[in-house]
Structures are given as C-alpha cells and as structure tokens.
Structure 1
Amino acid sequence: MKEDRNTILIVEDQKINRTILRYMIQNAYDVLEAENGAEAWSILEEKNEEIIAILLDIVMPVMDGYEFLKKLKGSRWESIPVIAMTGDSDITTEERTLELGAWDFIIKPYKERILMTRLKNAIARSRMGYLKKMQHLAEHDSVTGLYNRMHFFKETEQMLQKHLKEPFVFIRMDIKRFRLINSYWGEEGGNRILCFMADLLRNISSHYPYCTFGRIESDIFGICIPYEKRDCDSMLQFLICQILSYSTSFALEPSFGIYCIEDNSTPAENMFILATMASRKIKNRYQDYIGVYDEKLGQQITQEQEVFNDMRPALENEEFVIYFQPKYNGYTQLPYGAEALIRWNHPKKGLIAPTQFIPVLEKNGFIEKLDYYVWEKVCQYIKKWKDEGLTPAPISVNMSRVDCSNAGLPDKLTYLVKKYDISPGLLQLELTESAYMDNPDFVNSMICELRKRGFRIMMDDFGSGFSSLNTLKDIQVDYLKLDMKFLFSHSNDFKSKRILSSVVSMAKWLRLKVIAEGVETEEQFDFLKRIQCDYIQGYYFSKPMPVSEYEEKIIPLIEKNPEIEDLTQQRSLVYMSEDIYEKIYADELTGLYNRRFLNEWMFLDKMRPGEELRSVAMILMDIRSFKEINDTYGHLAGDEVLVKVASVLKTSVRDSDSVIRYGGDEFLVIFLNCPEKRVYSRIEEICALLAGIAYGENETRHITADFGISYTEDFEKTKNFLNDMINQADERMYRNKKKKGCEKENTVKY
C-alpha cells in the first residue's frame, strides 16, 4: 500500500465495467472488486480498515445497491463515502440513492476526469468529517456529550480572558454517595443520572449570555457563569430541587462547591481545586448541600502549603519526634507497652500536633515516608532497651491508607525488625477500619502475611465505621481498639455502655483482645473494669509523653515489680492478662469470672478500701430450655446465647458485685451490701433484659431463666457457710423451675 486507507472498493456485477473502473483509478488508488452487494459486505468485514471509498452499482443480482446502502446505514462503516453508479438517468433513481446515504451519483458511461474529481472530493469530505469527529470525541464526554475536563477548563479560561473585569463564579457539582447508587442501580442507571445532570446544566446555560460547563470526571460536573449573588442562589436552589425530586425510589442528594473567582486569569484547574475544597466542608453533613470557599478555607490552604514546603527538610533534620502513650492492663492497672505517636518540633512554630500535618501528608503521599521514619525510630528504641538488659514491652505503630495499599509493606517491616534484631511481636501494627474498607481483599491478604511473619495487628477506631461487625467476620486481627470518645460522644450513655459490653463479649468469644482508647474519667474506667476490657489507654492513666519520660516513669514499673523474681520467664505475671489472669480467673467463652475466682474468694477483693462488708446475696441463675437450644440450633447458637446472657449480667451489676459462670448454662451473681428488696428489683431488671435476647429462626424466641437466692445480712457470722448458701440457692432454683418464677419464700436467709 502507498499510504493508509487508500483502497477503493468497486462493486459492479459486469466484469467489463469493473475492468474499466480499475483502469481509470489504479494509478491513484489500490482496488478491490466485488460482483454484488453480498460479496462487497464480506470484503468490508475483512478489510474495512483499508477501504476509504466505495463505487457502487445500483442494479445487481443477489444484493443490489439499494439493499447494500440500507445495510450500510447505521453500521460501523456508515462513514465510508459511497458513490452510486447507474445507467439509468431517471432523477428518481438519483434521489433514492442519495436518500439512502450515497454521497454522490455518477451516470454511465464513466468519464474519467469527473469520476476522479468526485471521488477525490468525497474522500476529502470524509476525512474532514473524520477529523471533526475525532476532535469532538477528544473534547467531549462520551456519556453526556458535555465538554470533558480538559476542554471545559480551556473554554473557561478563554471565556474569562474575554471578560477580565466581569465577576464570575466557578461551581463544582456532584452527587453524594454516587458510587453506592451506581453499584446498586448499575452502570445504565448511573449513566441516566449523569445525563440528567448534563441536561440540567444545558438548561441553566440558556439563561446566560455566556458560560461554560462540562463533566470533569465520574459524577463531578463544573459550570462557570457570570456572578450575581441573588441570581446564583436562586439557580442553586433550582438545581437542588430538581435533583432531590429526580426519583421517589431512592434519595439523590447534590453537593456544590462554590468559588467566587477573584482573578479571572487564574487557571481553571486551580479554580476547580478551590471549589472542591469548599465542597468538602459539607461532606457527610445531611441536608447540607452547598459549601462556599471563604477566607478561613484560604488560610487552611496556605497552612497546608507551608506544611508541604517544610515537611521534607523536617524529616531530614529529624524535627519529627516520637511520643509514647502507655497502655495499661485492665486487671492489674500496670503498664503494658505503649502506642507510638508523632509530634512535629518545628524550629519556628514549636510543637505541632499531628492533626495539623497528618491530613496534609496523607493527601500528598508523604505519609508513607513519615510512617517508615516512625517505625524505624521505634525499632531503634526497642533495640536500645534490649541492649540495656531490659525486657521491652510491645510498642504499636500506625499504618496509613497509603501503607495499606503497598504490596511491599510486609518486606519493609520484616527488613526493619531483622536490621535491629528484635522480635516482630514487639512492633504491633495499627490500621483503621476505614483503611481496611478501601480494599478489603488486598488488605486482608497482607494482614495474613504480616501475622505469618510474627507481627500482631490491631484494628484501630473499631466502631467508628458503619460495617464493623461484618469486618470482624472477615479480617484476621489480634486486637480491637475501641474509641471511647466516639462511643460516649452522644447523650445516650446507656446505649453506649450496652454496645461496649457486647463488643467486649463478642471479642472474647472470637479470642480477640480489646483496648479502650480515649479513657478520660474514673466512671469510664470503672465500667471498663466491670465488663473486663483487657487494656486501657487514655488521659485517665497517662497523656502521651516524650521517650525520656516514658523511660524514666513507665519502664521501671514494668522492670522493677517486686512480685516478679524472674522477669524473663515470668513476664506475663506483670501484665497478668493474656497468660495468667484469664487462664486462672476468666471463663474462656463468656469472659466472666470462673469458679476458681469464687473458690479463692477473689470477689472480696472488689470491696472498696475501708468499706465494711455486711450483706451478701448469692443468686444462681439457669437458662430455661438451654439443652433444647443446643439440640435444635446447634452448639454455636448455644454459645452465642451464653455470650449475650453474660453481656446482660455484666452490665446489670455494680463494680463491687461479681458475675461468675458457674457451669454450663448456670450463672452465679454475687451482690455485696445490697438491701434484700433491691436484690429482687435487680433480678426483675435482669429478667426484663434477658427477655430482649432473641434466638432461633427469624429470632422469634426469647430467653427466660430460673433463679434461686440465698441472702445473709451478717457476713461475719456466715462467711464459713458460703458454699452452703450456694447449695441452698441451687436447691431453690430447681424448685422455681416447676413454678416458672422467683418468689420470696424461695429465698434462704442466714
């Protein structure tokens, strides 16, 4: 071939005519021949890329020219120019062929100069149309037909240059949660919404002497119009009303970012960025649709730019310093390691909190470098303590979204612990639930790999997202971190406590440790003790502190405990949670105390210092029809019922009271210094809460229980008969099984 697309297809049933036509054009074009329309169609399917024009006879057997033109119309080869040829000079023939899509018409016998001229003109027009089509595709969005991002910005800048002194406003528009809507209604439904948005902008544009608008990306649109506040406000209200009323079957909510242009020579890309920042002000705010760029936002951008400019030299000069916030064992109240936090010791601005620079670093990806810096610093400290003959406690470090998307993360962390010769278990890794939800499958596989290599993983901010329970089902972590500030930020503390208790019980059932962070008050700590939360972190025990202070105040508490003779072999006794305390005193399934706790009279240690012990109530409780639950729904369902019952009991007692799993489906509740009447009212409250526990198919069945009570008003006289009290409570409970209740006469008094 001499050049691209220079082949002419001759479709003519008479061989002599094909020969004549070939002779006339062969010096300028390559030639393909077909005897009829059907054969021509086959050639098109095989060699359409080469063919730039078709010479088509009208009267032919098999498939004539008319049928060929009909078939060509609407096909992917419609743009190839066709010159119709016939010996019939009737004007109706010419009209019909042109109506069917022929570009030109030639009457036999052929005249070479006329044929070549018309062929050349048709090809030139075709190429011009092709170029225009390509230009249109390059400048317009294929779904909505609006300007695409690049051309919209270009047209906007040209318009503003023509009207330098006139005020304009740049508006960014999108749909809240469009990704969710798109996944639910499918691509076709999503595209209908996009076209609806495009039509709204076309409608708006007709009211202005000049404006530009386009689809920037995904569901994000932009429009730039002359600015007059009242007019702009009414236009936005019109758009909001139209979008809100789009569908009755699902909620479509708009989001607008408004930037009033201060300098018409500003690049359109920058205007879009500022409008985007304005729209983020209303993110996750229900029924709030408009965000406006203002001076405060401008100051924020300036500050972010300053952070961006300073962060690289700050890292090189080690201006970022490590702080440790200790974690405390919930049982012993002794420190158990810490979380590594970062502060920026700026040479001019002083100590900068992470909230002022971490979000900026997350935006530009620099957070990955800072995280690695923190990890290495922590490894260095652990090695230092180890070299000093100490036994380091685990330190947890944070992993950002960027880290969690890096397939090389396990190798990076493994390299660090090997470089500093420390156990991977001493470098615990915290990731947020939201970081996990960005790419669950990828992150979960990476977590599994990290755990294989000996690292321990914490799910940070558990409960602050919307898919926590489903997340637990799939993700392989070792610890849950609950944010107390989130759970207790609402007025309904009762619900918060129920949620916390249920999560702790569920975590124990799944063999996960629980860390409560953000613990600030004694009330919160007392509650966490009562529900047997494993670890506590927060200002109630300790604020974040410099490394030197941590080494001075915290490490000695770990290393110089007088109860420990051999710290290397008996280290777990210091923390007394994972290896000793729970094995001795905690029931594995429910997290309640076990019978050893009762037999060793450990419940007496729960008395407040200086408080005199007077009365003791022993309440034995048995779940009705528990064997039937196990037999009908399986032992897993039975275990779930036990965990739920345990959660109810834990949150129904005071700090000084104790709840013990006595055996199977039997529970023992010990009330200390509780008046007898109050004991009965407490049991009634427990009964009501148990009735709220549903199980079975469609959860239509509810829990009931039988109770037996022993009560003494003089502990000193009866303390040697506590086992007798329990036996009597047991006897009364089984009598109550027949009566289906708990009556006062079935209480034994000592």
Structure 2
Amino acid sequence: MNTQKKILVVEDNGINRAMLREILCSQYQVLEAENGLVALEVLRELGEQISLILLDIIMPVMDGYTFLARVKSDPRYSSIPIIVTTQNDDESDEVTALSHGATDFVAKPYKPQVILHRVASIINLRETAAMINQFQYDRLTGLYSKEFFYQRAKELITQNPDREYDIICSDIENFKLINDIFGVPAGDHLLRGVAKIYAEQVGDLGICGHFNADQFACLLERRWKYTDELFVRVGEQIKALSNAKNVVMKWGIYAVEDRSLTVEQMCDRALLAARSIKGLYGRHFAAYDDKLRGKLLRERDITDSMESALAQNQFVVYFQPKYRLCDCSLAGAEALVRWNHPQWGVQPPSEFIPLFEKSGFIAKLDQYIWDRTCAVLREWDQKGYPPIPVSVNVSRADIYHADLADVLKEIVERYELPPSRLHLEITESAYTENPSQIIETVEELRRLGFVIEMDDFGSGYSSLNMLNRMPLDILKLDMKFIQSETVKPISQGILRFIMSLARWMNLSVVAEGVETGEQLRRLREIGCDYAQGYYFAKPMPLAEFEELFSQRKVHMQGDAHRPGDHWAGQLPQAILVADEDAEYRKQVSATFAGKYQVFQAANGDEALACIANCATQLAAIILSMTLPQTDGESALTMMKREKAVWNIPVIVTAPSDMRRECSAWEQGADDFAGKPHSQASLYQRVLRAVEINTLREREHVLKDEAYRDSMTGLLNRRGLAAAVESLGREDAPMAVYLFDLDDLKHINDNYGHVKGDEMIECFSSVLRSLTRETDILARYGGDEFVAVIRQMSTRETALKKGESICQAVRNTPFTEEFPAACTAGVALCDTGLPLSEMIERADRALYEAKKKRKGGCWLWED
C-alpha cells in the first residue's frame, strides 16, 4: 500500500507535467490531469486523499481560474491547498490567482528546491489546521467537546432570535457501576452508542455534545411537546446496546427563554432537572421550573444582602504575599476580598464575586477595596514599613467606567501615595472584549504612573498581536497554567518561551498558585521573577501580614518597578538585514518601517554579533550569501547549528544562481530571493516565512497538548498508551495503579462542577507530589487516574505506596469543606504486557477494594 501523500498536477503541457513528476516523485505520489475538467474527475474519485494541487492557469477545455472557482465552492474539496504555476511573472497575475483562492504562486521555469520547499510547507500547514480542528470534537464519541458545544450553541441562539430552542441534557444512573462490573471498554462502547442515538434523534434540528463521563447535551429547535413515550422509546434503543440492559437514563430540559444566561448555565439547569428525578421509577424526564429554584435561592440571598454588607463594612481585605524568586524576599502582596457575614461567617470570593460581576455591583466593591488598600499602604508608611506595592483587581465593569482613571487618581492622592504603589490587575480575557477602549483606558492609567498587570495570562485566547498592542508592565501567569506546564519536561513546555517573550517585551513575570517545591524549582530554572501561592502562604488578614515585615527580608521596589520605561517607543519585534549593499539595507529599512525595527549588518561578523545579542527580538533574518568577511553561507551554517536561533526564519538573497540556491536550501534556509527583486516581493516573503514559523511553533504545542488532559496537565489515554509503549525491560517490574475518586459525582451533583473540577485538580496535585518525575501519570476518565511506577521492588511496597496516596487525599485542605476520598487498585506487571491487560488487572483490584475497604488500596492477585 502506497502511504505517500498524493499531489495532483493539473497542466496541459506534457513536458511540464513530466518535470513536476520528476521533482516530486521521490517524496510524493504524483497524479496528473491535462485540464481542469479531468482534474475534477480525479477529485470526485479521491477527494480529501489529495494533499495538494499544482495548477496551471492557461489550459484548454477548462482553465485554471474556472477550476479554482469550482473547487473552492465545493465544501468537499475547498480545504485542499492549491499552488498556481504560470509562465507569466507579472505580479497582477499572482494577485488574481490568490484572490481566486490559490494558496501560493510559483513561476516557471520550475526550480526543484523551491517547489519541494513550498509544497512541504503548505502540506504541513494544512495538516496543522486539521489537528486544530480535531480538538473541537470529543475523541471518544465524535460529538462536540463541551467547550465547543457551548460556543456553537451560543452562536445559534444569538443568530436566530426568532427561533425557540431547548437544551436537553442526560445523565446515566449508576454509570460507574457499568465500568466497575463490565470494565472501561464496555462503558466506552455504551457512550459511543448513546452518542450515535443522540445524533440520529437530533438530526438537522440542532447540535450535540459529550460532556464529562456519562453526560450528554443537545441544543434542539423546538418542534414538538416532550412526552414519556418519546424518552421511553429512546431509552429502549439505549438498552438494546450491548451490556446496557439495566441502564436507566434521566433527561432534563431547559426551555431557552432567558437568553442572557450562558449556555453553561442553561446546561446546569437542564442537568439539575435531570437529577431531580434520579431514583424515581417511571420518571424519564423533567423540565426545569420553579420547583427547582431552590438551588438558586442562595444566590438571591447573596445579591439581596450585598448593598447592606458594603454599608456595614462586612467586606474585609486579605493580603497574599508575593516573593522575589532570586532571594525569596517579600516583594509585595495581592489584595483579596473576603465577606465576613454575621450569620454565614467568612465567605470565599468564589461564593459571591461571580454574582457581583453579573449584577454590576462589583464596581462598587472594587472601589471600596481600592480605598481600603490605599489606607493600609498609608498606615504602613506611617509605621515605617518598607514601601512595597500591592496589587488590586480591576474588573471588566470598571474598565467601561469613563471616570476610572479619575477615581483611582483621587484615591491615591487622598492617601498621599505614588500611583506605582498600586498595581492594577486586569484579566487576560477582558483585553479581548473591547480592545480599543481597554487600550485607551490602560494607556491613560500608565501615563498617570499606575503599574499594569495582565492577570490570568495563559487562561484565555488573546493573540500575540493583541499582547503586543497592550500597554503592560507585568504578566501574571494563570494558576492552572502553572500547574499543568510545570509537570511537563522543561524541553516540552512553553514556559521558557513565555519568559523569552516577557524579556523581549521587557515585562516582569509573576507566577500565582505555586503549591509545590517542584513548581518553584521549575519557575526559578526558567528565570521567573516573582511568585505567590500556598507554597509560601495563604491569603491572610492584615495583622498576620504585618508580622511578615519583621520576619522576612523585604525587596525594596519603590517607584523604580516599572521595567518598560526605558523601552518606550521601541518596536516590539525586529528583523535583521545582513547585506553588503548599503543602499539595499536602506531600502529594506524603509520597507519594514512601522512593522518591525530593522537591525543592519554590513558583513557576516556583524550579522553574527547582532544575532548573538538580539536573538530573542528577531522575527526573521534577511541574509545575503555574498557577504564579506564571514560569508553568507558560513553564517547560515553557524546559525542553524545554534539551538537558540535555529528556529528564526532566514530568507537568503543572492544573484540568481542554481548552485547558491540549492546550497541555501540544503543548509536550512526558509526562502530564497534572487536578486534583483522588488521590495514588495521581499515584504511578502518575510511575512510568509514568519507566519509559517509561527504555525510550526503552534503545531509543536498542539502535538504535545494532544497527549495531555487539558484540566490537569497529566497524560490522557492517548498519551498513556504512547508512554507505556516506550518502557523497556529495565523499568520492570512496574506497579500499575487505577485510582477512582469516590465522591466526585456527589460533589458535582450537590456543589456544582466547579467544586468537582477543584477535587480533580487537588487529586492530580497529590499524585504528582507522591510520585517521581519519571513515573507515568494519566487521567484515564472523568474520575479515574492511572499511575505507572517503574522498578517497584516488592508487592508490599506497591501496596504501601497506594495506601499513602489514598491517605494523602483524605488529608488535603479540600476535605475540610467537602467529602473527598479515593480508592485504588494496583497490579505488578512486566514490560511487554499490553496496556489493556495492565489496566484490566488494576481494575479488578479496584473492584475488590470497593467491595472490601473503600477508601484504600487493594493488590491484584493472579
């Protein structure tokens, strides 16, 4: 079977087809068509099997432009990239071809290295796009993933205000029992069957998604009334699935009436309705109505009390210390709010902040916290404490107040404080909502002297271009981002890249949520500046924080903390033009003015020196092959050997010469621009090279993410299988553990999925802390985890390790508020045993543990 990628050459000239076939045949399977009509026949037969099309424009029967229009209008073929080939070197033809949907453009006569390079790059880009697309779908069922379902449902509801929709969610009663009795493969088979039934029932009337474990959801256009008969019929289809005779599924329905709710809230209400009939025989579905509002009464009590609570000073400022990592000196704090209610006691922010944000009351609370924080800073100054800065939160609601800058300025002036003592934290997600207004507001705040922090960096979706535009002083890395990234090998994570990015932008970096010594070690290793988290200290009342001034060394920052001032006006990215012609360098500088800062080098030695000093700033290098002193070829060879710069795209320039061009490709050049050439052409080449390089980096990250669970950062099933395959004899014997979180479903049902997610993350932290970096850790399912510990000496040691992990879970701070425990099964295995058999043995041991001593560990016996 031929596994080579297929390329279709559409060209009426037989000699040209033969030339292209000769260039490509060593790496690709080449198909040929003498005109556009024949090419369409090939597409109808092979479709998406075609990786790329090389298309001539001037042809009989059906020309290239007509063929382009037909292909791009057909969704079956529109994603196939097309490179246009033509004898005409006119730039207008290139623009015309690109406007018709062509991906790239090459001129005749064909240059083999150029053809191969362009083909490989474009096929790689297409495959990267396909990889990105697959994250929209749940791997097990093929339905939309939870996050993408939320997004698509929101779009449909918003775009169709005249249509009536329902959210229908389902829950399988005692689904875990199926996994426990029949095994995980049987459970997966059931879920795939349910997904198929969902898709068939919904059809074109809506969309379907698979959530956690046994939870499914659909957004359905309302066409009929829901009856018991409908759900009984669907239930019978589910029971007809293998090993599903006793499966009982409950459905909940939320009629989409309040469109101001998020889709997640709608789904929560539908699931709440489903749970309300759990265990009730003969009840198959329930609709969300007033009887289910009990879960929301707490929220109403909170919103009813908030104004009086503010008037009575029930809100209290807590301080969480921030430390400088190079010497662990106290460098500042973050001001956090707690609600000390006379009846409810001290309430954490998660209880009330989301409701305050929804109601708009958050703006009043923020101003109160800003005022109280500045009052404390003034008291510290009067007591002679070191002048450390304190960060305060600025919510989205605050940004849209026209007088925000005036309010903050009035507060700091009233307490006689320099604005730099107050750091303003604005979440990453806020920057994406109304960029122009936020940029204008934040620029005004920075002009007044306030220090701006981007909070939760790594949790949202802001682009590098957006980050480039934002007026910032500090990046504050998201807690979950830190926890997931620091468990990866340092060569695979992107923390080091983020640090380089921050250095290039002259930003300080603060890591929040640091919980373990290993996380601290990694952050120091990559050069992070500051950190805060439970590893150092929890948020604390004012009196406790003041004790730290007498116990810890304090890093004096004062007004000099704004690191970006001396970079004001400097462009955030640069290119290097290394060319012996001064006039050419001048033209390039003019071409890229406003887009990049342009560094110049007149010879190879100057070019290498510039690269050594400015590597992190360079987006691309334009390198002449005919440089004096160290010539261009030697300079290119040296660059591609240096790991720090080998990923910077290099566009080689030289008088048109086949030998030089081939040499450039062989040494790793990203493009070749023969001289003379227009500056417009060079501009496009540089932008294309930078874009391709960016997508390569993204592809590398996505490949790693494809093997990891997005919530915990542990391996997923795919990653687990790959890791186990790499084990060797020296790793035996191995202890294979299967952990089950006993009370996760109870927590999800009674406290919400946010708390359930916290339990999952809590367990993953425990698992990491009690295993070695070389051990294999994976999230196997919704509440199931696998650990493969190498070189386990005895059965007793394996059992003791499992018991210690289960015990550690029972002793976490999480259990002080919520029931949390896990049960484990362990099996000793040799390498070479299939992963499925390893899991099966551990699963049998887990089943015995649940029967005999839930909350502990049981060893598999042959």
TM range (shorter): 0.3 to 0.5
TM-score, normalised by the number of residues in structure 2 = 0.39
TM-score, normalised by the number of residues in structure 1 = 0.44
Give the structure with higher Rg (CA).
Answer: 1
